[in-house]
Amino acid sequence: MSSDLDPHVDVHGDVSVDRLALAEEFTGSQAGGAGATAPADAAEYALRLGDDALVLAQQLGMWITRAPELEEDVALGNIGLDLIGHARSLLHYAGTATGRSEDDLAYWRDEPEWRNAWLFEQPNGDFAHTIARQLVASVYLFELYGALTASTDPTLAAIAAKAVKEVDYHRDHATQWVLRLAGGTDESRRRMSVAVADTWPYIDELFVDDELVERLADAGVAVLPSTLRPRFDTVIDEVLAEAELEPPTGRTAFIASGGGRRGIHTEHLGPILAEMQVLARAHRGASW
Amino acid sequence: MTAPADLSVASREQHGDEAAQALFDDVIARDSRIEPRDWMPEGYRKTLIRQISQHAHSEIIGMQPESNWITRAPSLKRKAILMAKVQDEAGHGLYLYSAAQTLGISREEMMQQLIEGRARYSSIFNYPTPTWADMGAIGWLVDGAAICNQVPLCRCSYGPYGRAMVRICKEESFHQRQGFEILLELMQGTEAQREMAQDAVNRWYWPSLMMFGPPDDESPNSAQSMAWNIKRFSNDELRQRFVGMLVPQAEVLGVTLPDPNLAWNEEAGRYDMSEIDWDEFHEVLAGRGPANAERVRRRREAHEEGAWVREAATAYAAKQAARAAEASGAVA
């Protein structure tokens, strides 16, 4: 009987210890840019993008086992996984400028050194808040990565080319849920409206130009955030119109001042980083 | 032969239940597969519903001990792998619920059984994961034991279950490798990391051996399941095979398996080992394990807190369908 078992073990469950190769997406994070060293400005820019992706991924990871249905455990996990992939590529590239690894940047920087925009550190809230944040984030990232595929920096262009396809799916996922929640029950519609109102103050920061992006845009490396705004507004307006939700723009008294790109953050980032970094920091110099 | 050519309901109506039973027995004897629309004995159906739904619940509850470390994984590579693994488990739960649904039970009913504490799932997931090394030990020991249990299920006589298992086993194999790799990295690391790894192996070794179920002479359902080609090997056979797989791997890792009596018995052709603490097994099975209540509570909370979302999706789909019907009516 055991001879009968063997071939099946070999076919489906080979656990021999000399074969530890992991899927490519887990081992390397160097989309198209293996070996390239980032110039200082491009590194700072990659850090902004990488931090956006990582902080959002970290938050989506909190949903796993807590999602409203199993399909959403899978979907939110999948989106988080894509974002970690983007973050790893971007942080790896950012780190090449200063000889730091993706993990040095993820685990050993304190809050003022983080460059993510405030949107990404806003809490998960209920499912409607997570979806509102996902809608804004993925529509923004889709426009951004789409434009960056033409970057003169080949590493950024390669990362963007891979990421844009993935955030296109994220955009679709968020849009479908906005429509369902807005057009579902009275309760879901109420929650979706609240979530949109709560999320909207964090949009403006995404489209602020500063000296760094102006220099990089002149060189064709980066795209000026302000130039992405019209297309972003068009797409978002279409979604809200179909969902029959009122765009809160112009009505909300509060617009977040932002400052994430300069290391100024809301109260939410500290606890997110504390949780993410706690184990790594308890074992300085260890590898995992 | 003039007996019915197949196990379809029509054929049964034509030839009667006895003929259907004979044909079912013949399919089993030929080691062929039963499919959802075939006639099957009620006991076979019930056994499969119980086993497949328990298996699905195990995948879903089994996400929790590992999701505990997603946010704290110590490197981005590990975070990505862990997230992918937990996501795979959700996917496995989904295939398995679908396989159980082909036997006439709804997912809602199964979920309700789970959150009301009426359904069982693998007791192993009622142990807590206090350290990162638990991610390694779960992969290496728990997923390793699951593979030993599940690979023969790829040949289960019930088609949808067997096919789901083929896909699941491929992914489990990756899960076990990543667990082994976590432990290997820890064992090659600092003193604190090595201690963490050994401690986790100490805590998970015995519970992983219990995953194969009670000893053969105390396993009430095994004989019938083996006769139906649902189960292929006895609990003790699989447990022996698992230990045989672990011993050389433990040597490579440099961890000690926490059983001073573990030794190869040349004469008997098997491993000698200490008696398993079946009292602990029965305690955990009875719901008094370290994390039973916590696991069910988390699932219930997720289900209840998500109710408004599922209701919204249902309401939206109904409105869309009504709109589509109205539109097609208008066209006609």
Test B83 with A54 for CB contact under 8 angstroms: no
The pLDDT of residue A197: 93
Contact B310 A68 (CB under 8 A): yes
Lowest mean pLDDT among A77-81, A211-215, B30-34: B30-34
The pLDDT value given to residue B281: 87
Question: Cα dist. A103→A87, B19, B71, B166 in Å?
Answer: 11, 66, 14, 36
What mean pLDDT comes out for the span B93-108? 96
pLDDT at B12: 66
pLDDT for residue A95: 98
Q: Do residue A15 and residue B74 have CB atoms under 8 angstroms apart?
A: no
Q: How far is A143 from chain B (nearest CA, A)?
A: 25
Backbone angles phi, psi at B206, to 5 degrees: -65, -45
Going by the DSSP 8-state scheme, the letter that residue B295 receives in this structure is H
Q: Among A9, A13, A70, select the one facing B90 at the smallest CB separation.
A: A70
Range A5-27 burial, b when 16+ CB lie within 10 A, else e = beebbeebbebeeeeeebeebbe
Instruction: Kindly tell me the sign of the dihedral angle through the C-alpha atoms of B272, B275, B280, B282.
Output: positive
d(Cα B85, Cα A223) in Å, to the nearest integer? 36
B18 C-beta neighbours (distance < 10 Å), count: 9
Q: How many angstroms separate the CA atoms of B111 and B97, rounded?
A: 9
Lowest mean pLDDT among A1-5, A260-264, B246-250: A1-5
pLDDT recorded at residue B270? 92
Nearest CA in chain B to A27: B77
Contact between chains at B90 and A84 (C-beta distance less than 8 A): no
**Between chains, do A276 and B80 touch, taking CB under 8 Å as contact?**
no
Q: How far apart are CA A44 and CA A50, in angstroms?
A: 10
pLDDT at B59 over 60: yes
- How far is the C-alpha of A85 from the C-alpha of B81, rounded, in Å? 11
- At residue A247 the predicted structure's pLDDT band, cuts being 50, 70 and 90, is confident
Q: If you ran DSSP here, which 8-state letter would residue A208 be given?
A: -
Of A65, A81, A107, the CB nearest to B298: A65
Residue A38 pLDDT: 96
Q: Which of B308, B310, B311 to mutate to test the interface with A (most CBs of A within 10 A)?
A: B308
The stretches of chain B forming alpha helices (DSSP H) are 9-29, 42-61, 63-67, 76-101, 107-115, 133-137, 144-150, 159-187, 191-210, 222-227, 235-253, 278-283, 292-305, 307-331
| pLDDT given at position B329 | 81
For B241, the closest chain A residue by CA position comes to: A2
Question: Are A288 and B74 inside 8 Å of each other by CB?
Answer: yes
Please tell me the distance in Å from A90's CA to the nearest CA on chain B. Answer: 12
Lowest mean pLDDT among A79-83, A239-243, B224-228, B310-314: B224-228
Q: Is the pLDDT at A48 greater than 80, yes or no?
A: yes
The 10s digit of each residue's pLDDT in A123-134 is: 999 999 999 999
DSSP state of B265: E
**Least confident window among A55-64, A181-190, B25-34:** B25-34
Residue B11 is predicted with a pLDDT of: 66
Residue B228, pLDDT score: 87
Q: What is the pLDDT of residues A159-171, one digit of tens each?
A: 999 999 999 999 9
- Quote the Cα angle for B199-B205-B208, to 5°: 140
pLDDT of residue B26: 92
- Check pLDDT > 60 for residue B72: yes
% of residues, chain A, pLDDT over 70: 86
Q: How confident is the model at residue A250 (pLDDT cuts 50, 70, 90)?
A: low
For residue A140, pLDDT over 80 is answered with yes
Average pLDDT, rounded, for chain A: 90
Between B117 and A97, residue with greater pLDDT = A97
Question: Which pLDDT does position A246 carry in this prediction?
Answer: 87
Does residue B71 contact residue A275 with C-beta atoms inside 8 Å? yes
Mean pLDDT of chain B: 92
Q: What angle do CA A198, A201, A203 make, to 5 degrees?
A: 115
Contacts with B, A 3-32, CB within 8 Å? 5, 8-9, 12-15, 17, 19-20, 22-23, 25-27, 29
Supply the pTM of this predicted model.
0.91
